[in-house]
């Protein structure tokens, strides 16, 4: 019985991990875009 509960718990966590991965990627993209924007501002002055 315990193995079934553990197996079901791991299946339920997969969508949460996908959401976390997407959130991290969006945050990383925002940081990279911000750095390139600051660099472009620095170069233009």
**Domain ranges across the chain:** 1-45
pTM score, two decimals? 0.60
Q: Which tens digits make up the pLDDT trace of 1-37?
A: 555 665 665 666 666 788 899 999 999 999 999 999 9
User: What's the confidence (pLDDT) of residue 15?
Assistant: 66
Can you say whether the dihedral through the CA atoms of 34, 35, 40, 45 is positive or negative?
positive
CA 36/CA 41 separation, integer angstroms: 9
CA 3/CA 16 separation, integer angstroms: 21
Q: What's the first-to-final CA gap in the chain, in angstroms? A: 67
User: What's the confidence (pLDDT) of residue 33?
Assistant: 98
Closest residue by Cα to residue 41 from 31, 30, 33, 26:
33
Does the structure show a pLDDT above 90 at 44? Answer: yes
User: What's the confidence (pLDDT) of residue 16?
Assistant: 75
User: What's the confidence (pLDDT) of residue 36?
Assistant: 98
């Amino acid at each position: 019985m315990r193995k079934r509960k553990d197996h079901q718990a791991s299946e339920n966590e997969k969508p949460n991990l996908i959401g976390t991965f997407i959130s991290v990627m969006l945050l990383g993209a925002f940081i990279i875009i911000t750095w390139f924007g600051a660099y472009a501002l620095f170069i233009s002055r």
